[in-house]
A and B are shown apart, each in its own frame.
Chain A
Amino acid sequence: MSSSHASTLDIRAGIRLALAHFEHLLPGQAPIRDFVHHNTLHGFQHLPFPEALQAARELTGQYGYLPAERFRELFRQGRITRDDLARVLLEDPELAASLPLEAVPGHALRRVDLYLTTLLYPFPALTGCQLNWHIEELEVMSRFQEDVPREVRERLITAASHQGLAGEAEVIGDLWGACLQVLGLESFLVHPEEMLDLSPTQAEQMLSQIQTQAAEDEQRPESLVRHLMGQEATRQLQELLQRVGRDLTLGGLLRQLTGRDPMQELGPLLVRYLGAFLDQGVAAWHPETRANGFFAFWQASAAQDLGWLIQDLPEWRNHLESLPDDPLDSLIAELRRMGLPTELWVGYLERLCLEWPGWSGLFLWRHRHPGYQGAGFPVEMLDYLAVRLALERIFAQRLCAGLWGVEASLDMIRWYFRHHPAEFMVRLALYTSRLPEYLVNKAQRLVNRPGIPGREKDRAPWHRVAQLIWTWRRSPAADAGERRASETAPRADNPTEHRVFVSGWRLFRLAQHLALPGAAIRAMGREGAEELLAGLALMDDERSGFLWLQAYEHHYRDQIFQAVLANHGRGPWRERRQRPRAQLLFCMDDREEGIRRHLEEIAPEVETLGAAGFFGVAMNWLGLDDRQISALCPVVVTPAHEIREVARPGAETRRDQRAQRRRWRRWAANLLFQESRRNLLSTGLAMLPLAPAALAMLAAKLIAPLSTGRLVERWRQGYEPEVPSDVAIHAGERAAPASPEQPRLGFTESEQADRVQGLLRSIGLGSGFARLVVILGHGSSSQNNPHRAAYDCGACSGRHGGPNARVFAAMANRPEVRQALHQRGMAIPADTWFLGAFHNTGNEDLQWFDLDRMPQALQPDFDRLRQDLLAATHRSAQERCRKFASAPSRPGPEAALAHVAARAYDFSQARPELGHATNAAAFIGRRAMSRGLFFDRRVFLISYDPTQDPDGRILEAILLAAGPVGAGINLEYYFSTVNNDGYGCGTKVTHNLNGFFGVMEGTSSDLRTGLPRQMIEIHEPMRLQVLVEADTEILSTIYQRQPPLQELIGHGWLLLAAKDPERPLIQVFRPGRGWEPWTGSDAELPRVATSADWYAGSMDPLPPALIDPGAVADHV
């Protein structure tokens, strides 16, 4: 008694414990309003990259590399070369690629040639029918395979001519014969339809085969066939039932036996319950019972639900009443009832969650963030699981009772199918394997036949069809997979068993691509052929995917490393011997690479710098117009300070007026978009005056988005007066200590100095200050875009980073702070002024903060800088236009700016901007390393001066902060691109926003997480290549010290390389092996006078180029 009690306790604790682990399996995406990029496979980050992808695939079935076909396309486009592939192949120790191919003597082939061929061409196994089709329709026996290159064909023909063969048909025919011969196979053509009627010889042959196989059986049953079939059914049933809790749920089991998908039938209902419970403001009516948790809400609602009555499930009511009120008790009761062994319970729940990962993930996210957005109701993962389980039971019960007249438990299902093995075989074969049409028809007919469940008289037809299927599977016409399914387990794994349309066909294709004539195949014999086939088998899609990816990265890496080395010593401001005209600090964001480069081209005397876009100021921000705070800092940080925007003294009336008018506008927007769908009669009345306005607005927005957008903007600005404001940064010196739990208003004197000093030191700006130092936060604006937050600043939790820039500048300008800094040894000249600004990466707008506080003396400097920056935004727009299909080709600067601005205003535009698409690398170091190079907006640029950081502490902090942020962005783009259906969220076009927390496809699908297709179309999925300007020894010690970096870099989620601060030398870090110097080609880099000369008129990704104002523009 006591021991069982203890074990129950254990189980309960075990389940609760397991919930925490689910975090690793499910998407960790926040409600979409707070979207922040993160590694899609964050739960697998403890594994090396390729292993993680494989593990994820085993769990969820999602492939983590680009499809091979896509890689081959990139190969044809020259984005990957044969050389890249060869180098990667030679680096993999498991492949031993440099060794000669012993199987093929006298042909001077190395293993690497074999591997290259398997990467460049597909070698699919066929089915019998496909082989027939290839032979009959494509005449493959007398022609070269289509994809064999011309010169390989010629080689093969020449080689074969020594044998005395002439002509394509003869050579190929001989080759096919040779392939079959060495593998001991016979060619045949069997159509599945021929199995409709067994010929006596065929039957005789198959029977005797079976009898010899079964000869060892000591007792020969009366009917061998029936005996074998019975054995097989028992085994299959056993196997299938054992999978429940491992990789199947009860619903999944039934899907394999009935073809009915529980999630499709329960989906609409579940979505409505979940939506109603989690809703953040779409619905007007929320259930009262929501306060008691999801399970209680569902239970109360289900008790009133008449659906079960209508659907003929009267016993459901009793069951519902018998369910305990506690979700965990209910969970346990259901699992017990199902008859699942206790040790499989957690695995079962895991499977259940993975059936709809989107909803499960969101629920878990809310579970882990209690009180999100002030939600006054508990969101408990246990509740969710209990409801899922109970709903699954309804479904299972309905099916089991209706079809077989049994209770929906594993024991009863086992019992039923033990007594109806034929039905089991037919069902399983129909729903889980490929059968020829005539068998599908028959099986389908049986399955759909109305009948009384389990009646004896009805068994005969099942037996007949089961026998037919079994016979077909034993026949030579069946596919390898089918055959395997029907054979006993140990035989199935026999590797030496060859089949014509599998190994025979693959060898045949391979020989053609390696230019091996029939004679060579015969010479190598079976062993040689098997070695070739083993090489082919080694390159499974996990391995080849990873090899392709590495080659792809390799190609890009060589280009940028070569460029960086070529640039060594060219870039200005390595040391600030003179004073720069101005310094501009941008976000490290890859989208700012373009505008920085253009600004530097326009005004070479200006220095640009980069840092994470929250500029070291982690804060809760409350703007004048805001009604709730938002945390402006990386998502892993919880701010301990709150900063408010306040109206300047004397501007209170304006502030109030603005607040009043904004309230009106909100009220009107609310009336228009919310009330008009909520109310019945008033909506009808309101329609009449609204309609003409709506029609006019619709037409205006669609015909002239830019003018309309600007007009609305102007009107809004006129209507809501601008309020002169300040940021309340200062806390009294006696303020309570700040903590994430109790954020304090404002920073103390020393906290301010800490922040200013921290950032300036981090970016290496300790001396040589210009008169104007501009801090530019960024964000993006777009319309009709549920994923809007994904376009904003990742370092500010997916929000606009303007306030951070403004707060930083305000702090850095305070004399007290300057004083404190001076005492700490950082002398900022008295005439230096910090200016906060905001760059909109969508419409390229610039916004300046607190300009009126700027000393008058700086006005001319500022005016000039503003002019230059304005010109830079134009050119940046121009550069962006080259990637937009609908942009004018080669637009002038004005036209380009108008185009990008129009996109941001256009509510029909699914691609307002391209976000981080194409991001591929991150540079940590002085801008001098990369300045003067064209990097195509693909590089995160983080400023860091190794000469000011002898012990590497600053670098350590940068790597710890920027590493995860960069990897998060990069990997989310990576996974959403390689498998948009599995890891991304599909096309925006059918998205439907649910509850303000996520998007579905249509009205009853899983929540879709990841990035939409429109965001990743042009992305080149590769892992982030981090290049740090630092000494390798310092990097090594940091790596040793920091487990998070060991995980990211050591496991290959980030690629690390170091540029020597003094010499033109790059070393690549190889996990497990250490640093290796990089040697690349020494080819000349293209030289252009301006970036525009390089990219104009091209839509494709471009390699780096040296920008040299002296160069003659020869590339136009």
Chain B
Amino acid sequence: MFDALIWLVPALPILAAFAIGLGLLSGVIQGEKGEWLTARLALWAAGFSLTLMLLFALKSLLFGVPGQLVLTPWLTSGGVRLYLSFSLDTLGLSLGLLVSLLAWLTLRFAVNYMHREPGFHRFFLLLSLFDGAMLLIVLAGNAALAFVGWELAGVCSYLLIGYAMDRPTATLNATRAFVTNRIGDAGFLVAIFLGLAWLGGIEWPTFAFGAPQLDTLNAGLLALAFFLAAAAKSGALPFSPWIARALEGPTPSSAIFYGSLMVHAGVYLVIRLAPLFQQAPAVMALVALCGLLTALYGWLGGLVQTDVKSALMFSTTAQVGLMFFACGLGWFDIAALHLLAHASWRAYHFFNAPGLMHLTPDPLRPVPAWLTRYPGLYTAVLRRFWLDELAEVLLVRPTRSLAADVDNFDERVVTRIAGLPDPVGHLSSLAEWEARKQAGGDQVEGATGQARGLLGRLLEWFSEILYWFEERLVLKGSGEGLLGVIERLGRLVDLVEYLLGQPRYLLLLIMATLVVIL
């Protein structure tokens, strides 16, 4: 029965985040006086969740791991069933323990470190939320639940990179990180979709046991989609640049997000889905290659970084690359061990970053002489292999122009055909008035209510009828119900439009189309 309490582990920190949020909204928590309460809330919640994890670990040590634990059905729709389930195997438990420990320690670190910061409460709220999100990722029993954590962690990361909201660089980098992560999210969503379609469920064991039944191509597609998510989150090539730009936040958040926990989420996902990946040799090769290149990229990059945070970040990227490489070779256990060790060490390393100068009196050992014989390579490494520039040219700029085109199309074609009020058309300036006066036409036509274009006239006529209809039937009659329906319909349309406007849904749509065609 004790096992059923596992949901509390991620829920407690999330609840604490909500409590802090409520306190802030209601004004109970504010300013320096509120720091005590905020810190207590966050620390107690994280502490309880850590204690629970410790008990689970102890129990598992004594009586063996509980394994997959289904608490309750979550969603049922047609043949699709989603459960509130948790994976309490060695991987989940050990990572859960590490996450809750490091999160609690980070919170403790932040109590002193963030004292009197204007963003103190915001920081604790986000860190608590992140704690819960990471715990969801590593403990979730299925892809959907993990995805919830995945997204939450992403949002927290976005908000903490932009911690210094007044610095344009920080907000810009936050947005870049967020957008890059959306590519990975699309992969995750497609994978969930494919899992539901092909395996009938997205419980992790379903993937493990169902994978052998899939043919290589399907297994490959599924694994590829997951790997896309993993690579984006963990900053593997070609997504590496975002993570090096993500270091704008306070030191403790940089430590826990990019040094120690979130950066490993992608590796965790691949390890979690080891049986699936093993069914797809091509994807395994891709993982290995990508890992190897990432490791090289991180290692070379780390050699030339001069600011401490970037230097640590590149080193982290290199180690994460090695983990992917190990996964690609099928050494999932080694990758898992490496992950646990690296997360612990790097947290320590990052926390000490401000004092690195005083911890080590010696400069870093120079690179071997053979490396210095390639000045061109040096430039390439210093410029981070131009990945940022490439992304700018290949992704950002086309997207921007597309958006501008659409906007233009909207303004010039759609607006005119539809005869919508044109924001440019209406205004008048002194120059126009003068011209008009000189032309002798003192009489001015009222621009209001005058429609343009064929469609416009039609609409004008139509709207008069509607007006009549509204006057007579809707407002005067017992038209409450009708109004309500219209309103609700309108809102639905708005929602659909909004969702379609979101890149991830657009991407999802495109990918789904591709998959259907395949």
Contact = CB atoms under 8 A, between A and B. Distances in A.
Given A282-B364, A691-B342, A304 B426 contact: no
B393 interface: yes
Interface string B334-366: 000110111111011101111111111111111
B338 A464 contact: no
B236 to A, nearest CB: 15
Given A688-B337, A695-B347, 7 more contacts: A282-B305, A690-B345, A989-B251, A990-B250, A990-B251, A991-B251, A992-B307
Interface stretch (B16-24, B81-89, B162-170): B162-170
Given A993-B354, A1002-B167, A229 B431 contact: yes
Interface string A339-368: 000000000000000000000000000000
B431 to A, nearest CB: 4
A269 B423 CA distance: 41
A275 B341 contact: no
B433 interface: yes
Contacts of B112: 886, 906, 908-910
A203 interface: yes
Interface string B167-184: 111101100000000000
Interface stretch (B141-149, B279-287, B312-320): B312-320
B371 to A, nearest CB: 7
20 contacts: A223-B434, A225-B430, A281-B363, A283-B303, A304-B379, A442-B427, A449-B404, A464-B429, A670-B360, A673-B356, A678-B302, A691-B345, A694-B347, A908-B110, A909-B112, A909-B113, A910-B112, A1001-B167, A1002-B170, A1003-B244
B72 interface: no
Interface hub of B248, B322, B345, B378 (most chain A Cβ within 10 A): B345
Given A301-B382, A673-B359, A698-B105, A692 B344 contact: yes
Interface string A255-280: 00000010010010101110110111
Nearest to A306: B386
B61 interface: no
Contacts of A300: 375
Contact of A695 (B248, B312, B348, B356): B348
Nearest to B376: A304
A467 B432 contact: yes
Interface in B461-484: none
B121 interface: no
B435 interface: yes
Contacts of A224: 434
B403 to A, nearest CB: 9
B431 A223 contact: yes
A461 interface: yes
A465 to B, nearest CB: 8
Interface stretch (A20-28, A284-292, A563-571): A284-292
A300 B111 CA distance: 47
A784 interface: yes
B351 A993 contact: no
A784 B359 CA distance: 9
A858 interface: no
Contacts of A697: 348
Contact of A471 (B312, B319, B430, B438): B430
A677 B295 CA distance: 12
B408 A886 contact: no
B102 to A, nearest CB: 8
A198 B428 contact: yes
Contact of B168 (A261, A282, A450, A991): A261
B311 A677 contact: yes
Contacts of B306: 272, 275-276, 278-279, 282-283, 994-995
A222 B438 CA distance: 9
Given A223-B434, A461-B424, A995 B113 contact: no
B109 interface: yes
B299 interface: yes
Given A283-B305, A284-B365, A448-B404, A784 B352 contact: yes
A312 B311 CA distance: 30
A898 to B, nearest CB: 16
Contacts of A995: 306-307
In this complex, the interface size class of chain B, counting residues with CB under 8 Å from chain A, is 35 or more
Given A307-B383, A467-B431, A993 B361 contact: no
A540 interface: no
Given A198-B428, A678-B364, A1002 B248 contact: yes
Contacts of A222: 438
Contacts of A786: 354-355, 357
A441 B114 CA distance: 39
Given A307-B383, A990-B251, A207 B318 contact: no
A305 B379 contact: yes
B201 interface: no
A1017 interface: yes
Given A276-B382, A281-B363, A680 B404 contact: no
A1046 interface: no
Interface of B: 32, 101, 105, 108-117, 163-164, 167-170, 172-173, 244-245, 247-251, 295, 299, 302-312, 315, 318-319, 322, 337-338, 340-345, 347-349, 351-367, 371-372, 375-376, 378-383, 386, 389-390, 392-393, 401, 404-405, 407-408, 411, 423-424, 426-435, 437-438, 444, 447
Given A197-B426, A1002-B170, A680 B299 contact: yes
B355 A784 contact: yes
B259 to A, nearest CB: 11
Contacts of A641: none
A669 B345 contact: no
Contacts of B352: 673, 784, 907
A674 B311 CA distance: 10
Contacts of A908: 108-113, 351
Given A287-B375, A288-B372, A885-B32, A695 B108 contact: no
Contacts of B426: 196-197
A484 to B, nearest CB: 18
A697 B349 CA distance: 11
Nearest to B319: A684
**Lowest 4 CB-CB distances: which A-B pairs, in order?**
A281-B363, A275-B306, A691-B341, A467-B429
A203 B427 CA distance: 13
Interface in A302-350: 304-307, 310-312
A702 B250 contact: no
A282 B308 CA distance: 7
Contacts of A282: 305-308, 311, 356, 363-364
B320 to A, nearest CB: 11
A598 B389 CA distance: 63
- Most B CB atoms within 10 A — which of A223, A283, A627? A283
Contacts of B430: 198, 203, 206-207, 210, 225, 467, 470-471, 474
B214 to A, nearest CB: 33
A911 interface: yes
B354 A284 contact: no
B366 A989 contact: no
B311 A687 contact: no
A987 B105 contact: no
Contacts of B342: 684, 687, 691
A1005 B169 contact: yes
Nearest to B168: A264
Contact of B117 (A448, A471, A677, A989): A989
B351 A471 contact: no
Interface string A222-261: 1111100100000000000000000000000000000001
A441 B359 CA distance: 53
Contact of B378 (A285, A306, A688, A1003): A285
Contacts of A1017: 116
B169 A670 contact: no
A280 B357 CA distance: 10
Contacts of A648: none
B423 A441 contact: yes
